[in-house]
Structure 1
């Protein structure tokens, strides 16, 4: 198995740059957020200072009014802090939520417009984990961790300032713990970043193993390879668990370093407070306030300790999201072919260097011509079909539509003119109307019914409980394999492409449904250029030309009758098919 080429991961600087670009798009609410956090931080200093004043008043035999006044200040500060905190959280949401929504849209837009071969090289699990797990991680962090982190940072800064307000010597004592804190952070940051990226990568590998195992379950069972798929999932899950355990051990060691820093800092403040009181340089109230100020740091520092873990994980997820969002967009080259002629000129392909699966093949499809491609499993039929549809860029040769080279055009432009229908048709959760309008957003109901009629699907859609408004898909009415294919063929009618590529589109229908589906396909292809990758050889009789592939090479080509009369490989295939039929 070849090594997968994962989608890129942005640097921390690039992620921060894009995040700032998104946040500053709402400057008004950003200013309100900063102001509210500052007010909340300043209000939080008042109760500690008032407690120190109460201690001094009691120690010096002050009157009751001093105590009452201090309590009143504490109550007022508490009300202001609560209001400012609520405002800061609400305004932060108004800044962050739209920014995150924009980032999600950018990531999803780029993910949906990735070239098919790029997705296959990265693995579907890598894409799914980014638009799923990584978005969830960043969302949860922004909802909970980011507000708490900002509040903790503001509290930390203003509390240290409060220490210096009491006495510069007490402030310096509080800073004695700084080297220990910095040492802990300096140890943690270089270890945590790569570790969290490895964790996200391991989760992507696990998702890929699970998705591949589920999608390929029937094939695995058919070949008795269930154990192989399960072992792959187990290996990926074990690797993810191993990384998670190493992250936990690293986080625990970081917690020990932070606790040691707290011990050193509080001890230094208590010693400094005792010295200032003994020397007459400060009061007992100042020493008490200083100790409370430093003790007050335990909560924000503790919050940062636990939240830093979440923020780092979110940062790793954010770099993966930005890595996708910053992928270069498609070139604005417009595909405007002069006609529907499809010309494959000496196209060849190798999924891995040195292992060619398709030798140089040339095909010419004038407008309205149908070419059927047949061959044994592994002959290269699907590869040739993907290249003809513009879904796979060939290793060599050119694909021209109306004289324009598809290599210079984005795949989304190609889809407007060439439609690909495979045997793996997806029915989206929604109504029949919703599924059809994916191909024709502006189609009227009469146009939808006409498309269904062309695909021989009108009768069974009319028989559904609510007709076009019937919900289908995973959470609705389950369609049979032939019905799902007919729905896909009806979408072709609505999209009205110049060229259609059918890749074994009737292979999963079963013999009873396949005959009707073949008739539906003929009706849909009428007047269009088409490449039909034929699983059922009955599809080849009406083709203008039949191309026979063997080990990636064209060994025969001609009409059905000519090839049968030639008594070559196609004749053998036709004879074997006729016996089974």
Structure 2
């Protein structure tokens, strides 16, 4: 099973958990203190009941019985109030921690190298942002507070039980082997089981996403049976992974339930024997049995939430693992000297041992317009992504102003070079929000000018609320062509000196695309443009054309020069092919 994005180990999880605890010491101490007071308040009733039983045996009055009942009721009320307050503080702390974890995850996810995200596929990252976040939410909101409550209650209950008499330890210790062995058996298997379960779900999600996104290809190539078989295999893998963790629970839970009965029965029998022999009072036996019974609930909650903690721990490990992805760029601190873009002896591979670029050499002068053409799969887009600094070359160098693209911090790189592909995202928000992210300080006039540069002003002004119209998922849906124009308008606002256009106008009608490219060319005059051509008229308008075949630049020159050579480029310009290559 493909696992590109890493998973944090136990040591890293513990370090991060300690760091979180140290960030909120006051809130944590208040929550623990309130839970301790609530637990102490709950310990009064068994002792009062035991003393009452002893008093009844020795002879007592109705007034004293009423007094004891009143005291028990008072402690129950106090315990209820303290428990409510303690839970409130615990849940508030949990929500704050969860919010911080989500923010950290979003920051780490956005900082992932694009190449890593592409190799991992959508399934793994999507399952981490959805399923794992949901699982961790349940753990932080409920499992962690409930575990704290149970642990504090068990600690104080044991202390109170020992005050009844050391003899109570005998039946209590009898349950330890059952709980210890069964829980140890479970914990040794649960973490890996939940990690496999989450990974299998990610694989199933990825397979489903690939099938849906490539539905037209599947239909065209008649690969229905293969995709169905793949989906069935992934679903079966997810089913088997979940069945494994379910089997662990069905073995562990019954063993734990048996362990709960041992201390109650043992305390009653052993205490009764001691009482018959005159070694303990009836009141002590009663209190001991009640305390043993009172231990069941917190121990049960403690062990029950362990299952949720294991699931949450696996989710936390996957979310935390995002931060372990190494950066694919190392800032050198050097500043580009000029705008010259150069690729020297560039080789690159997505899979070790299988280069898709083979010793590419290309120099692009400032202000020059280069068109890259060639058959699908030749390496045009890959070379464009290296020029845009998306990937570092395996060998060789890609530089701007003498500085490697991956030596520049991302913010600086995007001020130098920008990439626009045929895949564009419309963010949920206003049209103004979608545009101003490229230049936050831009005025409405500048936003409309950017839209006008890409022939989008007319439809933008026709929107119900103009720039304030909400677009994106669940809002006004833009057409693919409008989404591309929006991306190009962002490009105008970002104002880099070098642009890499990877079939950026492929979804627009040919006439409209040609008109828009001419308008864009007027705005971008003087900038360096590297256009990965989908239609050959783009190459016709370029200063030079680079023909990419089998990962190499086989021809380089102007349109007229290449046509005269009667090589690969000239064959593309045979009648009827110019608008289809």
- How far apart, CA to CA, are the structure 2 residues paired with 1:20 and 1:576? 70
Secondary structure at the residue paired with 1:188?
Answer: helix
Tell me: CA distance 1:67–1:447, structure 2 relative to 1, closer, same or farther (3 Å). Answer: same
Q: After TM superposition, give the deviation of residue 233 of structure 1 in Å.
A: 2.8
Matched, 1:118 2:116: yes
- How far apart, CA to CA, are the structure 2 residues paired with 1:483 and 1:169? 80
Question: Structure 1 residues 364-373 or 204-213, which shifts more?
Answer: 204-213
* Partner of residue 462, structure 1: 461
Q: After TM superposition, give the deviation of residue 128 of structure 1 in Å.
A: 1.9
- How far apart, CA to CA, are the structure 2 residues paired with 1:576 and 1:116? 39
Tell me: CA distance 1:382–1:473, structure 2 relative to 1, closer, same or farther (3 Å). Answer: same
For 1:215-294, what aligned pairs fall within 5 Å after superposition?
Answer: 215-294=213-292
* Partner of residue 383, structure 1: 382
Question: Structure 1 residues 530-539 or 436-445, which shifts more?
Answer: 436-445
- How far apart, CA to CA, are the structure 1 residues paired with 2:98 and 2:26? 17
* Partner of residue 397, structure 1: 396
Q: After TM superposition, give the deviation of residue 410 of structure 1 in Å.
A: 4.3
Tell me: CA distance 1:579–1:455, structure 2 relative to 1, closer, same or farther (3 Å). Answer: closer
**Per-residue displacement from partner, 1:540-560 (whole Å, max 9, x unpaired)?**
111111000111122111001
- How far apart, CA to CA, are the structure 2 residues paired with 1:95 and 1:533? 52
* Partner of residue 480, structure 1: 479
Tell me: CA distance 1:435–1:335, structure 2 relative to 1, closer, same or farther (3 Å). Answer: farther
Does the aligned pair in 2 maintain the 1:23–1:99 contact within 8 Å?
no
Q: After TM superposition, give the deviation of residue 517 of structure 1 in Å.
A: 3.5
Q: Which runs of 5+ in 2 are unaligned?
A: none
* Partner of residue 356, structure 1: 355
For 1:3-402, what aligned pairs fall within 5 Å after superposition?
Answer: 4-327=2-325, 331=330, 333-334=332-333, 336-402=335-401
**Per-residue displacement from partner, 1:397-454 (whole Å, max 9, x unpaired)?**
1011111112333445423321111111111122111110121122111111111111
Secondary structure at the residue paired with 1:340?
Answer: coil
Question: Structure 1 residues 262-271 or 132-141, which shifts more?
Answer: 262-271
* Partner of residue 500, structure 1: 499
Q: After TM superposition, give the deviation of residue 82 of structure 1 in Å.
A: 1.6
- How far apart, CA to CA, are the structure 1 residues paired with 2:213 and 2:520? 26
- How far apart, CA to CA, are the structure 1 residues paired with 2:213 and 2:513? 23
TM-score by length of 2: 0.95
- How far apart, CA to CA, are the structure 1 residues paired with 2:334 and 2:228? 45
* Partner of residue 559, structure 2: 560
Does the aligned pair in 2 maintain the 1:386–1:392 contact within 8 Å?
yes
**Per-residue displacement from partner, 1:86-132 (whole Å, max 9, x unpaired)?**
22222223433333322222221121111111112222222222232
**Per-residue displacement from partner, 1:108-162 (whole Å, max 9, x unpaired)?**
1121111111112222222222232222211111112222111111222222222
Secondary structure at the residue paired with 2:23?
Answer: coil
**Per-residue displacement from partner, 1:6-35 (whole Å, max 9, x unpaired)?**
222112221121122122212221211110
- How far apart, CA to CA, are the structure 1 residues paired with 2:565 and 2:520? 28
**Per-residue displacement from partner, 1:51-82 (whole Å, max 9, x unpaired)?**
21222222222111222222222122112212
Tell me: CA distance 1:252–1:269, structure 2 relative to 1, closer, same or farther (3 Å). Answer: same
Tell me: CA distance 1:579–1:37, structure 2 relative to 1, closer, same or farther (3 Å). Answer: closer
Tell me: CA distance 1:412–1:15, structure 2 relative to 1, closer, same or farther (3 Å). Answer: farther
Does the aligned pair in 1 maintain the 2:572–2:578 contact within 8 Å?
no
**Per-residue displacement from partner, 1:26-45 (whole Å, max 9, x unpaired)?**
22212111101111111111
Does the aligned pair in 2 maintain the 1:537–1:577 contact within 8 Å?
no
* Partner of residue 414, structure 2: 415
Secondary structure at the residue paired with 1:531?
Answer: strand
TM-score by length of 1: 0.95
- How far apart, CA to CA, are the structure 1 residues paired with 2:522 and 2:85? 63
Q: After TM superposition, give the deviation of residue 190 of structure 1 in Å.
A: 0.6
- How far apart, CA to CA, are the structure 2 residues paired with 1:426 and 1:230? 29
Tell me: CA distance 1:334–1:498, structure 2 relative to 1, closer, same or farther (3 Å). Answer: farther
Does the aligned pair in 2 maintain the 1:422–1:505 contact within 8 Å?
yes
Does the aligned pair in 2 maintain the 1:370–1:531 contact within 8 Å?
yes
- How far apart, CA to CA, are the structure 2 residues paired with 1:580 and 1:539? 10
Question: Structure 1 residues 181-190 or 45-54, which shifts more?
Answer: 45-54
Does the aligned pair in 1 maintain the 2:366–2:528 contact within 8 Å?
yes
Q: After TM superposition, give the deviation of residue 251 of structure 1 in Å.
A: 0.6
Question: Structure 1 residues 424-433 or 263-272, which shifts more?
Answer: 263-272
Does the aligned pair in 2 maintain the 1:337–1:404 contact within 8 Å?
yes
Q: Which runs of 5+ in 1 are unaligned?
A: none
Q: After TM superposition, give the deviation of residue 266 of structure 1 in Å.
A: 2.3
**Per-residue displacement from partner, 1:212-239 (whole Å, max 9, x unpaired)?**
2332223323333344333333322221
* Partner of residue 536, structure 1: 535
- How far apart, CA to CA, are the structure 1 residues paired with 2:443 and 2:579? 43
- How far apart, CA to CA, are the structure 1 residues paired with 2:188 and 2:382? 45
Does the aligned pair in 1 maintain the 2:94–2:145 contact within 8 Å?
no
- How far apart, CA to CA, are the structure 2 residues paired with 1:485 and 1:198? 40
Question: Structure 1 residues 427-436 or 129-138, which shifts more?
Answer: 129-138
Q: After TM superposition, give the deviation of residue 466 of structure 1 in Å.
A: 1.0
